[in-house]
Structure formats: structure tokens, C-alpha cells
Structure 1
Amino acid sequence: MLLLDRNGAVEDGWTRTEGAAIGNLSQALVSFEALPDALSQLAPGQQVGVLLSNALPASALEPFLKRLSLVAIAFPAFADGRGFSLAKAIRRAGYAGVLRASGPLIPDQFDYALACGFDEIELPEGSAARQSVLQWQQARGRLSQTYQRGYRREGNILDRRRIARAAAGSAAT
């Protein structure tokens, strides 16, 4: 698997576990189903992260957010955008840790993933073989405006059009 952040490829210090057994791992990534048990075993200095289905409601994760160091959201296909919505909901719920998109995303989705609150993207081997780190870096910053509300601080295309029309209408009177 290739792990990317906004600056390029990075090392992954997290270890995926089977079930809730986190043993002496310093950074253990568990399934949502195993999360309560893994958190009950947490020793000083250990960090726990969770791998979520993109169909899980953010409200199901909220009770655990303050104890998590990593939230990884699975993307079963690049065309399945539910993970973007889930990421925004998790950030709105106050999660400040690392947010990871995990699955076969494409470079064209990099800006959008970052705007939704993701810090990193984990690509499967097949995707990493087809899309170089350079392609991902070149895609970053390519989209300067979005249609969706709430993904960029400077607003979106639709709001800008509405403001421009209102200004033109008031100037005409």
C-alpha cells in the first residue's frame, strides 16, 4: 500500500490487527466492531485507530472520537463518494486527529479529499502502480473552486454567482 499526504509519500507507522488484540503495538488500527474492546486494552503510550466502512453514520463513532489517533475511512471504489461526506461529518463532530481515505481513489480526487478534511490517502497496490506520486502531487491545487458548499473557506462557485447577481441587481437600481 502507498500512503500519501499533501507533501508526497510517507511511511505508515500503523499496524492493522485482527479483532481487538492490540498487544504491544504502539499504533494499532482495528475495525469498528473491535474498537470498544481495543480501547479497553489501551496501555499508556499506545494509540488506537479505526477503519470504518463508508456506510457507517458519523454518530456511531462520536462516543470514541476523543480517544482515537487515526480514523481511516474505506472507499470500496473511486466512484463511491460516501467517504467524503463521512469525513466532513467526523470533522464537524470535532475530530482533530489524522483522517485517512483508504481505497482506490484517483489523483483528480486529491484536492476534494483534502478539502473534506482528509490528511492522507492510502492506495492499494494496483492503484499505486497506475498513478505515480508525481501525478498525485501535480493534481494537488489544480481545483481552485468547487460547487459544493462548506468544502473551502473562500466559498463556492454557486455562492459567488449569487453574490455577483445581487451586486449587479443593486447597481442597476
Structure 2
Amino acid sequence: MSIIRLRTDAVHEEPAVTLDSFLGQSNATAVRIEPGEDVRRLLPHLDRIALIEVSFPAFRDGRGYSAASILREAGYVGELRAEGDVLIDQLSHMRRCGFDSFAPRNPIDADAAERAFATWDHVYQGAADGRAPIWKLRHG
């Protein structure tokens, strides 16, 4: 599985453990979130997590977008990876929610991914990616 990263730091090599396993130990630095799991359980531990991998078992399951937004709004600055049935059409939206790493089940060409991230020049609202809304650009 190839990984598309928008980060410049070193790739985290430790395998991600389940949420319950992570909460039951003190030495893990990578955790995997499955659909339906409450990521708010991680909030007291964000300072020791280097990688949070969010599972997308099916492209139509959007719960991972909410998980990413919750984590970024809580101040998580580590790697946030979307893994599974990640399609090129979703990359831009996933990035806006805070994902900065992608492990699609089916490989995505790096050049096509770059084009996907640049799909829209302007946005209408602020999000985890820090892009300023168009109204703010025009009206301060």
C-alpha cells in the first residue's frame, strides 16, 4: 500500500494499535480508529500520539471526516492518516478536515493526487487546513 504524505517529517513506522489497546497501555504512539469509535477518548493523550490512522472501510462512510475535525480542533498536530477505501475525489475534502496522510487501498498516482488537492482555488468556510474563506480574502 503506497502512502501519500503532505508532511515533511519522518514516516512513523510503528504499527497502529486499536483504540482499546492504545488506552490500555502507555507506550504506544500510533492508534487506529474504526468507524463508530469515539475519538474524544484520545483527547487526554494527544501529546504522546505520533500517528492516528482513521479507517475508511467504504468510500460512502463519512464518519472519519468528523473524527479528523474533532482531533484537529482539539489541537492534535501529529500525522492524521486516512486509510482504506480512499478515492481521489475525496482527497481535497479529507485535507480540509485535517488529514495530512493517505493510504488508499487502491493506489493513486502522485500527480493526480496533487491535482486533486488543488481542485478548488477558493473555499467558503474555514477548516482544519487553514485556508482563508474567499469572503475574508475580499473583505478582510
TM-score (ref. length: structure 1): 0.66
- Per the TM alignment, residue 71 of structure 1 is displaced from its structure 2 partner at its CA by 0.8
Q: Computing the radius of gyration over CA atoms, which structure comes out larger, 1 or 2?
A: 1
Question: Which residue is 1:37 aligned to?
Answer: 24
Give the Cα–Cα distance (whole angstroms) in 1 for the partners of residues 122 and 89 of structure 2.
Answer: 13
CA contact (8 A) 1:65 1:95 kept: yes
Give the Cα–Cα distance (whole angstroms) in 2 for the partners of residues 144 and 81 of structure 1.
Answer: 24
CA contact (8 A) 1:3 1:12 kept: no
Q: Which has the higher contact order (CA 8 A, sep 6+)?
A: 2
Question: Which residue is 1:154 aligned to?
Answer: 132
Q: Give every structure 1 segment of 4 or more consecutive aligned residues whose post-TM-superposition deviation is greater than 4 Å.
A: none
State whether structure 2 residue 86 is matched by structure 1 residue 105: yes
1:134-153, Cα deviation, whole Å (9 max, x unpaired): 22122221122345x43254
* Percentage of pairs with the same residue: 28
CA contact (8 A) 2:12 2:51 kept: no
CA contact (8 A) 1:38 1:48 kept: no
1:32-76, Cα deviation, whole Å (9 max, x unpaired): 01002332xx2xxxx611000132223222122121111111111
Give the Cα–Cα distance (whole angstroms) in 1 for the partners of residues 92 and 37 of structure 2.
Answer: 23
Give the Cα–Cα distance (whole angstroms) in 2 for the partners of residues 75 and 31 of structure 1.
Answer: 14
Question: Which residue is 1:168 aligned to?
Answer: none
Give the Cα–Cα distance (whole angstroms) in 2 for the partners of residues 139 and 153 of structure 1.
Answer: 16
RMSD over aligned CA atoms reads 2.4
SS of aligned partner of 2:25: helix
Question: Which residue is 1:3 aligned to?
Answer: 3
Question: Which residue is 2:53 aligned to?
Answer: 72
Question: Which residue is 1:95 aligned to?
Answer: 76
Question: Which residue is 2:118 aligned to?
Answer: 141
Give the Cα–Cα distance (whole angstroms) in 1 for the partners of residues 115 and 132 of structure 2.
Answer: 22
Change (3 A) 1:12 1:96: closer
Give the Cα–Cα distance (whole angstroms) in 2 for the partners of residues 48 and 6 of structure 1.
Answer: 20
Aligned residue-pair number:
133
Change (3 A) 1:89 1:13: closer
Change (3 A) 1:6 1:36: closer
SS of aligned partner of 1:38: coil
